[in-house]
Amino acid sequence: MKTKLLVRVAAAALTLTAYSAAHAAAPKPTAAEAIAFVTKAEADLAKANSYAAKAAWVRATYITEDTQWLEAKAGAEQNELATGLAMQAARYNGVKLDPVNRRKLELLKRSLVLPAPIRPGAADRLATLASKLDSTYSTGKFTYQGKALTLNDAEKILASSRDPNELKAVWEGWRTISPPMKADYAELVSMANEGSRSLGYQDTGALWRSGYDMDPKAFAQETDRLWKQVEPFYKNLHCYVRGRLNDRYGAAVQPRAGAIRADLLGNMWAQEWGHIYDVVAPKTQGSSYSLDHLLVSRGYDPIKMVKTGEGFYSSIGMAALPQTFWERSQITRPRDREVVCHASAWDLDDRSDIRIKMCTQVTAEDFVTVHHELGHNYYQRAYQDQPFLFKGGANDGFHEAIGDFAALSVLTPTYLKQIGLLETVPGAEEDIPFLLKTAMDKIAFLPFGLLVDKWRWEVFSGEVKPEGYNDAWWALVKQYQGLVPPSARPADAFDPGAKYHVPGNTPYMRYFLARIYQFQFHRAACQQVGVTGPLHRCSIYGDQKIGKKFNAMMEMGQSKPWPEALEAFTGQRQTDASAMTEYFKPLDAWLTEQNRGETCGW
């Protein structure tokens, strides 16, 4: 997850009410006035960004009532400024401008995730709600067997336990932290919608969908098109995994047909299934190594994990991380205070103060997460010389895909041998176990990556009311993931709030897109370096030529519509999931054979 904040300049900004009065009867603006506005807006935003970012960093790494207040205050002022600038940008809609300044104006208009309403006190209230929701989630605990468990504790149990009663208890226990958020979340939705309408958008969901250089309705259709490309493979994987769960637990726990019980898949939200690989592993084809075990046996600690991630990017020609990264990042969970453990990458000064915030553990999952988060940091540094409004990914899916693209090389036994974790690369007989492990995360994630924002779009549009939040959530979970809860949910349940990105107000479609882009990037890179073998064995480690070309795409930042950035590296202008299906083609054929005689679907 990448964190980049807009800015706060209270002294430089008109209040929203004052802005409305000042410009109600203003004459038609000129191109020169539009350019002057953009120039000043960028200067104000750039000047103020560090303050808001550091307030957020302090709250995330030291959660107290005081740091929440400081972040809320900085966030309110920043939101009020950004909303005012977005409204002023809309004033220049009819002005004929050069493409650069026109793009900057459009980015200003759609830069807000939660725009504040145009009334006194609204920005303060919205910022307070946002900070409170985030902190409620991050400090959430529940009691199990007389012990207070954090999310980290609960995730370890879900990953390792094979006791369905324990899995159910822990799964349900975590979801007791979210019902108190429901009223605040509903109020936040109402306020954000009011702010979005003042910017000319139908609702906040439409505002979010406008960030992809296409009409919001066209973007929703595009996500459906991409899902249709990968849905058959997901259903094949679902069918196979359900059969193995039935073999393990019996029909009383997991029926042979229909949906899968959500708590049995090794992840709190069943968004990735790799932790239950031992349950679904092929009986006749094994894997000769475990990355978890390799990391521990080779003496890796959290710092070495991050150093190894840095080494990957250095091998393809990117400069080493600055010393401040090592001095200021949160790499492990502090023992003396509450923090936000959800992994994220930060750019605090739009130049070189890049950091990660993790509670890193020596696991294969965090090994991949390290490479993912560092991908954000290298992207942030690549576009640091762009004007402020172009300091961002070509779209948010690009930002998430950069590190995941690296991780496709990192996961290969080819790479593990290159860095000394493996002595020999296994033969083709281990391809199916490797691809199945990978698909349990990459493919299993796709429907969840899609449904989180599908749910929020329905909430923002008013199609789903607060009293229907939970039922609508589970309807989508069943429709896309083919999952059901382990038991009937309580009347007051707010299960969407048990996923960080909902109370944290982070748009989620970026992660779905990133899963597609990363394979598109990977196929293009492997073709360009001349790899003729299977995509799942290709590692670009050490290839500085491909690193230089990739960095050139990253240096574009948000200066061009994303199809141009995509074309610069891959030669394609359309998002295409065929690279993903090509990567997993041998596994899909194997799954089809394994599923003969099964009733697939739900």
Q: Which residues are catalytic?
A: 373, 501
* Residues 144, 155: Cα–Cα separation, whole Å: 13
Angle at 512 between CA 277 and CA 178, to 5 degrees: 80
Q: Which two tokens stand for residue 344?
A: 């994220």
Q: What is the DSSP string of 556-602?
A: TTTSS-HHHHHHHHHS-SS--THHHHHHTHHHHHHHHHHTTT-----
Buried b (16+ CB within 10 A) or exposed e, 418-429: beebbeeebeee
The residue among 105, 80, 111 whose CA lies nearest residue 92 is 105
Q: Which amino acid is at 575?
A: T
How far is the C-alpha of 401 from the C-alpha of 392, rounded, in Å? 13
Backbone angles phi, psi at 540, to 5 degrees: -95, 10
123 vs 560: CA distance, rounded Å: 31
CA distance 108 to 211: 11
Rounded to 10 deg, the angle between the 122-138 and 182-198 helix axes is 140
Locus of tokens 């003969």: 596
| Torsions phi, psi for 475 (to 5 deg) | -65, -40
Residue type, 116: A
How many CB atoms lie under 10 A from the CB of residue 194? 18
Rg of the chain taking only CA atoms, in angstroms: 24
Strand (E) or helix (H) holding 71: helix 65-90
